[in-house]
Amino acid sequence: MVMVMSRMHSGIPGFDELVQNGVPRGISCIVAGSSGSGKTTFCTQLLHEGVKKYKEKGLFVTLETTPHKLFEFMKVFKWDLKKMEEKKEVIIITMDPFQMHKLGGSETLASLLYNKVEEYGVRRLVIDSLDVFDLLYKDPFEKRVAVHNLVTKLQETNSNLFMISEVDTSSPEVNLSKLPTSVVDGIVLLYNLRSGNIRQRAIEVLKMRGTAHDKGMHPFKMMPNGIKIYSKEKMFR
C-alpha cells in the first residue's frame, strides 16, 4: 500500500514544486540564511498565504522584534498582518530573551505555544528566531535539547513548524554546526550570493523528511508582492 502524505501548500510561487507539491504535514523545518537573506519574509509569506489561499491559521512568535515593526516591514509587500491579527487569523506572540528566561526555558515555551495552537486551531507556526537560544543556553547540547522539546511537543498538534536561524552562507560549504539539524525534519537555506558586483538570491532545500525534494539551488526574487522562486532555473556556485 502506498501512503499518500498530506501536504501543506506554502503558497510561495515556485516553492511547492521543489518539494513534490507541498511540505509534509506536521513536520518541523529550519529556515536558515545570512542576515537579510529573506528568512522573515519567506516565513511571513507562508503565514499570509496560508490565511488568504488555504484558510489556515498561523502563529508568529517573534523573539527579536516588536509586532509594530513586523507590521511595518510587511506592509512593503501589502500584507496586512495587523488586520489578520485582529481577526485572529494570525496570532502574534512577542517575547524577549529576558521574558523567555523568566518563563523557564523551552519546555514552558513549548506548552505556551502548544496551548495557543490548540486554542485557535493553528496549522502553521513560525519562530523568529532560534538564535536567542544561544543567549539562553551556552552549551550547544542544551540548545539542541531545547529545540527538541519544542519540536516534539508541537508535533502532537500536527501543525507545521518553521524555525528561523541565521547562518553564514558566504562559503560554498555552508557551516551548519550551530543548527540543531538532527532534531528537525527539514532544512531550507536562503542565499544572498555575491558574484562580481551584483548579488543574487537563491534557495535550496537541504533536507525534507517524508518527501523527495529538489537538490539544486534556485534563484528567487523579492517582488512587490513577496518572494518568487524560479524553480526551473538553476544556480551554480
Ligand X SMILES: Nc1ncnc2c1ncn2[C@@H]1O[C@H](COP(=O)(O)OP(=O)(O)OP(=O)(O)O)[C@@H](O)[C@H]1O
Q: Which does 104 bind (CB under 5 to 8 A by kind): ligand X, Mg ion, none?
A: none
At closest approach, how far in Å is the CB of 126 from ligand X?
11
At residue 208, φ and ψ (nearest 5 deg) are -155, 100
At closest approach, how far in Å is the CB of 69 from Mg ion?
10
> What are all long-range contacts of 19-25, with beta carbons under 8 Å and residues at least 24 apart?
19/205, 19/208, 19/211, 19/213, 19/214, 20/211, 20/212, 20/213, 23/160, 23/186, 23/208, 23/211, 24/185, 24/208, 24/209, 24/210, 24/211, 25/158, 25/160
Dihedral, CA atoms, 59, 29, 74, 85, nearest 10 degrees? -10
Taking the least distance from each CB to Mg ion, the nearer of 40 and 169 is 40
Taking the least distance from each CB to Mg ion, the nearer of 40 and 211 is 40
Among 11, 13, 38, 186, binds ligand X (CB under 6 A): 38
Among 36, 72, 83, 108, binds ligand X (CB under 6 A): 36
Q: Which does 76 bind (CB under 5 to 8 A by kind): ligand X, Mg ion, none?
A: ligand X
Q: Which three cell numbers stand for residue 119?
A: 486554542
The verdict on whether omega for the bond into residue 10 sits within 30 degrees of 0, i.e. cis, is no
Question: Interface mask (CB under 5 A) for Mg ion, residues 11-40, using x and -?
Answer: -----------------------------x
At closest approach, how far in Å is the CB of 197 from Mg ion?
25
Cα–Cα distance between 218 and 202 in angstroms, integer? 5
At closest approach, how far in Å is the CB of 222 from ligand X?
3
Q: Which does 121 bind (CB under 5 to 8 A by kind): Mg ion, ligand X, none?
A: none
Among 13, 29, 30, 39, binds ligand X (CB under 6 A): 39
| Interface positions with Mg ion (CB under 5 A) | 40
| Interface positions with ligand X (CB under 6 A) | 33, 35-41, 76-77, 166, 222, 224
